[in-house]
Amino acid sequence: MKNILVPTDFSDNCEKAAKLAIEIASLFNSEIHFLHQLHTPVDWVKLDKEKEGNYPDTQAAIGNAKNKLSVLNKEAEHKGLKARTILQFVSDDEAILEHSRNFHHDFIVTGSKGVEKGFLKQFLGSNAQQIIRKTRVPILVVKGDEITFPFKKIAFVSDFKEDISNAFENAEEIAKKCNAKIHLLNINTTSDFNSVENGLQPIKHFLTHFPKLENYAMHVYNESNVLSGIEKFEDSIDVDLIVMYTHSRKGLSSIFSKSIAESVTNHSKKPVMTVHL
C-alpha cells in the first residue's frame, strides 16, 4: 500500500473517508492523492482565460473545490505524508480509473451514504458491477457508522471454495499493521445444506495456507443469502471493517459473485473493502 487515491465530493462521508485514508497512509507510510471531479458547462480546460468570467458560478465552484482540496493536502502533509491534489473537469468513473492506472495507485478510499446518494452513486452506484470488475486495486468504501482506527476487528467473508489467498493477504496485511483480529466468516445459504461443522471445514483447509496466522476466529452462519448473514454477523460482533472479494470470471457458480460485493457495499454501515482477485 504505497500510493492511495481518495476520490471525494466533500460530503460528510467522503470527508470521513479522507481522514481515514490519511490515517491509513500514515500507518503504511504511503503517498496520498485527493481527487475531485467537477462538471462544467463548457470544456474548461480549453476555455480561453478571458472567457472564464462568463461563468461566475463555475469559477466559484472551482475556487471552493481548490480550497477544500488544499485543506486535505495540508492535513496529509501535517502528518508528514507526500500528498497531491487533482481537480478533474469531468464527472466520469472511467476518468477516475484511468487516473488511478496512470498514477499506479494500489489502494482507493472513498465515502458514500449508499447507492442512491453521495459519491457512491457516481463511483459505485448503478455502475457498481462494472466499476468493481474493472478496478484492479482494493477499494475501501466508508459509510455512516463511526470509524474505529486502527481497526481491531476485521471480518473476511468468503465461502472458501476457491483460491482467495490474494484477497486474504490484503486483509492480513492491514490486520498486522493494526494488530487486529481477523474473523473468517462463511455463510451457508439454503443452496448449501451444510451443517455448521461442514461450514468450518473449508475455512480450516484454507488456513493451512497461512500457518503463521494467530489472531483469528472462525464463524459459520446459516442464512438464506450472504447479505442477511453479514448483517446478522455485524449485529453479533461489532466489526470495524468488512473485507470481500470479486472477480470477472464468467459462469462462476460461487455465491460470492460481483453483485454480492456491490450489495454488501451498498447496504452495510461499516467500512467495506472489496478486493479484485
Give the model confidence (pLDDT) of 13-34 as tens digits.
Answer: 889 999 999 999 999 999 999 9
**Structural domains in the chain?**
3-142 (3.40.50.620), 153-276 (3.40.50.620)
Q: Give 114's strand partners.
A: 117
Q: Measure the N-to-C terminal CA separation of the chain; round to a whole number of Å.
A: 16
* 174-224 tens-digit pLDDT: 999 999 999 999 987 766 556 777 788 999 999 999 999 999 999 988 887
Which tens digits make up the pLDDT trace of 207-266?
A: 999 999 999 999 988 887 788 888 888 888 889 999 988 765 544 444 455 567 667 777
The per-residue b/e assignment along 198-231, b for 16 or more CB within 10 angstroms, e otherwise, is ebbebbeebeeeeeeeeebebbbbbbeebbebbb
pTM of the model: 0.86
Q: What is the pLDDT of residues 92-140, one digit of tens each?
A: 677 888 888 888 999 999 887 655 444 444 444 433 345 556 677 898 9
- C-alpha cell at position 119: 459519491
Amino acid identity of 246?
Answer: T
pLDDT tens-place string over residues 34-76: 999 888 888 888 888 888 888 888 889 999 999 999 999 999 9
